[in-house]
Amino acid sequence: MDLVIRNGKLDSTGEAVEVGITAGRITAVAHEGLPAAEMEIDAQGCMISPAFVEPHFHLENALLWEGALNHSGTLEEAIDIYAKIKGDMPIEDIVGRASLALQSAIAHGVLWMRSHVDIDRTAGLHILEGNKAVRQKFEGLIDIQLIAFPQMGLVRDPAVIDLMWQAMEEGADVVGGMPHAERDMDEAARHIEIAFEIALAHDADVDMHVDETDDPYWHSLELLAEQTIENGWQGRVTAGHCCAMSAWDDALAGRVIEKVAQAEINVITMAPINLMLEGRGDSHPKRRGIARVKELLEAGVNVTCGQDDLQNMFYSFGNMDPLEVALITAHAAHMSAPHEIQMAFDMPRYHAAKNLRLQNYGLQVGDEANLVVLDAHSAVDALRRRGDRRYVLRQGRILAETRTGVNWHFPAMT
Residue 7 vs 122, nearer CB to Zn ion: 122
Q: In the bound complex, what is the minimum distance in angstroms from residue 240's beta carbon to Zn ion?
A: 6
Q: In the bound complex, what is the minimum distance in angstroms from residue 61's beta carbon to Zn ion?
A: 10
**Interacting positions 58-97 with Zn ion (CB under 5 A):** none
Residue 21 vs 210, nearer CB to Zn ion: 210
Taking each helix axis from N to C end, the angle separating 250-262 and 220-230, rounded to the nearest 10 degrees, works out to 20
Residue 27 vs 311, nearer CB to Zn ion: 311
Residue 309 vs 367, nearer CB to Zn ion: 309
Burial of 282-296, coded b for 16+ CB within 10 Å and e otherwise, reads: eeeeeebbbbbbebb
The verdict on whether 212 is a catalytic residue reads: yes
Give which of 114, 108, 105, 186 is closest to 144, Cα–Cα.
Answer: 114
Nearest-angstrom CA–CA distance, 98 and 401: 21
Residue 46 vs 273, nearer CB to Zn ion: 273
**Interacting positions 149-168 with Zn ion (CB under 5 A):** none
Nearest-angstrom CA–CA distance, 364 and 146: 28
- Which of these segments, 79-87, 135-143, 158-166, 302-310, binds Zn ion (CB under 5 A)? 302-310
Residue 208: CB atoms within 10 Å: 30
**Residue type present at position 306:** G
Q: In the bound complex, what is the minimum distance in angstroms from residue 268's beta carbon to Zn ion?
A: 9
Inter-residue contact 177 to 205 (CB < 8 Å): no
- Which of these segments, 64-72, 160-168, 170-178, 300-308, binds Zn ion (CB under 5 A)? 300-308
Residue 308 vs 321, nearer CB to Zn ion: 308
Q: How many residues bind Zn ion (CB under 5 A)?
A: 1
Q: In the bound complex, what is the minimum distance in angstroms from residue 151's beta carbon to Zn ion?
A: 9
Among 118, 308, 321, 367, binds Zn ion (CB under 5 A): 308
List, in sequence order, every residue forming a beta bridge with 368; answer none if it has no partner.
Answer: 25
Residue 211 vs 308, nearer CB to Zn ion: 308
Q: In the bound complex, what is the minimum distance in angstroms from residue 113's beta carbon to Zn ion?
A: 12
Examine residue 54 and tell whether it contacts Zn ion (CB under 5 A).
no
Binding track, positions 257-296, relative to Zn ion; x by CB under 5 A: ----------------------------------------
- Which of these segments, 1-9, 168-176, 304-312, 319-327, binds Zn ion (CB under 5 A)? 304-312
Q: In the bound complex, what is the minimum distance in angstroms from residue 116's beta carbon to Zn ion?
A: 5
Binding track, positions 381-400, relative to Zn ion; x by CB under 5 A: --------------------
Q: In the bound complex, what is the minimum distance in angstroms from residue 246's beta carbon to Zn ion?
A: 17
- Which of these segments, 91-99, 191-199, 226-234, 305-313, binds Zn ion (CB under 5 A)? 305-313
Q: In the bound complex, what is the minimum distance in angstroms from residue 86's beta carbon to Zn ion?
A: 14
Q: Of these residues, 54, 182, 212, 222, which one is catalytic?
A: 212
Residue 52 vs 57, nearer CB to Zn ion: 57
Taking each helix axis from N to C end, the angle separating 126-137 and 91-107, rounded to the nearest 10 degrees, works out to 40
- Which of these segments, 12-20, 118-126, 303-311, 329-337, binds Zn ion (CB under 5 A)? 303-311
- Which of these segments, 83-91, 280-288, 301-309, 359-367, binds Zn ion (CB under 5 A)? 301-309
Q: Which residues bind Zn ion (CB under 5 A)?
A: 308
- Residues forming the active site: 212
